[in-house]
Structure formats: C-alpha cells, structure tokens
Amino acid sequence: MSPQRVRFGSGTIAELAAEVERLGGTRVAVLSGPALSDLAHQIGHTLGPLGVAAFGKAAMHTPVEVTERALGLLRGRDVDCLVAVGGGSTIGLSKALAFRTGWPQVVLPTTYAGSEVTPVLGQTEYGQKHTITSPDVLPESVIYDVELTLDLPVELSVTSGMNALAHAVEALYAPQADECTERMATDAIARIAFGLPLIADCPTDPGARAAVLFGACQAGCCLASVGMGLHHKLCHTLGGAFGLPHSQTHTVLLPHVIAYNASAAPDAIGLVGKALGVPDPAGGLFDLIVRLGGPTSLRRLGMAECELRNAAELATSTSYPNPRPPTTDDVYGMLRAAWSGDRPTVPAPADGWERTG
Ligand code: NAD
C-alpha cells in the first residue's frame, strides 16, 4: 500500500475530518504560519471535538527552536495527530514534529513548494540548514484544495511556482533520472509556465490555479524521487546561512543555474526550453520572471556583496552530483551575475534542441 494518500480538487477540505479519523487521530493540533491563522482557526472549528490545539508560528527554514517550542505545547495537550495548512514552512514544522513523535500528518498545501510529497525535512540550527531524508517525515495524507490557493498573492504565486519549476529542472539532469521522471518533470514545467501568466492576469482563475498546483505536485514528486544539484544546494546555503527568502532566491538563481549547466547537460536543458516553449531556456525563463514581476537580483533580496565569495565557498565545500562540477570561482561568478540582476543566456545549438541520443 502506498505510504501516502493524495486527494486533489476543489472543496476537498470537506474530507479533512474523515482523513484524520482514517489515520486514527483523536486529538488534533492545527499548524499554520501567522498569515493563515484565521484559516487555521476555521479549520480547528470545523474539526469540532477532534481539534484540541493550534500552533500558528511556523517560520521559514524550520528553525529547530520553533519546533521545540511547538513540541512542548502540543505534548502538554496530549496531541496524537497533526493537520498542517500552509506552505513549505508550515509543512516543514509538521514534518519536524512527526519526525520527533511519530504523529500522523494531514497536510493542506497553500503554495507550490511541493514539500508535502517528499520524505525530506530541511531544518535550521546554528545558522546552517541540514536535510534529513526519512519515510517518517512523509505526510500520510495530502489534501490539495485549489480553493485554498486562490488568495495566494501573485508575487508569492510567481516565486513559489519558480520554486516548483526548479525541482523539475534539476530532476531532468539528476543522475537517477529516468523516462518517468523526465515526463513528469517536463509536464510540470509546461503546466507551471502555462498557468503562472494566467494567475498574474486573474489570481482567482480556478483553472490556472489547478494547473499550477498540479504541476507543483508533479514537481514535488520529482524532488522526492531523484537527487537535486547545484541549484538546490545554493538556495539552501543562501537561505540557511544568509537568511534569504526561500522561493524568491529560487526565482533569482534558476535562470543562472540553467545557463551554468547547459553545456554539460544539453539534452536536459533542451527539454527545459521545449517545455517552456522558448529557444533560450535561461534567457527565456528570465524574461518570463520579469514579465510576471518576479525578482531577478540577489541584491534586491538583501544579499550583501561582501558575502558572495563566502556563499560560493560554503556551497562548494561538500560534493554533490551536478552536471557541471561547481568550482568556487565559477559559482562566485554566477552569484555575482545573479546579485547584479544580469540576464543569463543559453544560445540554442545550430541544429536545435532535438535529442540526438
Ligand atoms: P512559506 O510556507 O514560508 O510561505 C510563504 C508566505 O506565504 C508565508 O508568509 C505564508 O504565510 C504565506 N502564504 C502561504 N499560503 C498562502 C495563501 N494561500 N494565501 C496567503 N498567504 C499565504 O513558503 P514556501 O515557499 O511555501 O516554503 C518554503 C519552505 O519550505 C522553506 O523552508 C523550504 O526549505 C521548504 N521546502 C521544503 C521542501 C522539502 O521537500 N522538504 C520542498 C520545498 C520547500
């Protein structure tokens, strides 16, 4: 039996209490971040006597001290099941609590981060973000309700969509990639690139929201099934050690990493271009981000210029698979370009992006 049950649709939140009961939950804690505390409160209310606690202070990058604080509070209320409503930060808190307690989780994603379908937990302690991969953190139940995403501001929709796109892009050149990952990743890229401009025009368009949410689920499945490369390493470094915001950092860096890896993974990068529908996968993605009003410079995200070399050294201090081996100097050069907001470019090969192998 699959260790995870996924529901997708509109109004699916109505199935929440039944999912909790299916998992044997009798005393539920509802987790959220500060921005969604009203929604969390409503959810607690609809759970009736099942809802016994709430914790509304989930924070970006899952700081261990926040998890410990929540754990103390929820143990005091004899909680035996978690319901998380929110983005990757709230789902991260839920995973961190489940890892420590074994409590089952029902999660209601409201962004496109994709954490809900991965057995991965990233948590931050002493200024560094560490990753744990364990079946114990995979939520038992995911309820995608498109209606919960209609209020996600356009700016966050764009950056969160780019976060999802990054999972799919890096899956295409991962060493474990196979035909199945390739199809799922290219499909995810196409759905997200189709849906985001429609969301920018009409944020409450349910069809566009459903396309991007489904693409994000597919991209999350890619993240769950293969290892990520330089792009994710850099984003973890800039988030964990320099406090940069997660999805915005993904948005700024992705076109640059695509350009960096293009010569070493031409087939994979060609598939990215085809799925995006552009001849230049790096420049075309950069242009899409600009058109959607997304961020294009690390400087604008608050990164200090004097920290760029430090970040490049940290991101290259351990080895991980990446098509083009990342050297500190090369990564520093790329970070500088991303800091300045330069437009990267990958010229299409003379014979196009058709695969030859
Ligand atoms: P987030 O969860 O911090 O959400 C961003 C902001 O959007 C928050 O202020 C939140 O309150 C608000 N928000 C969320 N949904 C909303 C809605 N529907 N309406 C209005 N506001 C809403 O950010 P995120 O980008 O979703 O997640 C980032 C975190 O997730 C990072 O810590 C990252 O490392 C982690 N992550 C983990 C994985 C994994 O597999 N482990 C994958 C992706 C991301």
pLDDT tens profile 173-209:
999 999 999 999 999 999 999 999 999 999 999 999 9
* Rounded average pLDDT over 48-74: 96
| Residue from 91, 105, 115 to probe ligand 1 pocket by mutation (most atoms less than 8 Å from CB) | 115
The pTM is what? 0.95
213 CA to centre of ligand 1 in angstroms: 13
- Determine which residue's CA is closest to atom 5 belonging to ligand 1: 87
355 pLDDT exceeds 70? no
| Residue from 13, 32, 36 to probe ligand 1 pocket by mutation (most atoms less than 8 Å from CB) | 36
pLDDT, tens digit, 9 for 90 and up, residues 235-281: 999 998 899 999 999 999 999 999 999 999 999 999 999 999 999 99
Angle between helices 308-315 and 328-340 in degrees, nearest 10 = 130
Name all residues whose Cβ lies below 6 A of ligand 1. Answer: 33, 35-36, 60-62, 86-90, 92, 110-111, 113-115, 118, 120-122, 148-149, 151-152, 156, 160, 163, 223, 246-247
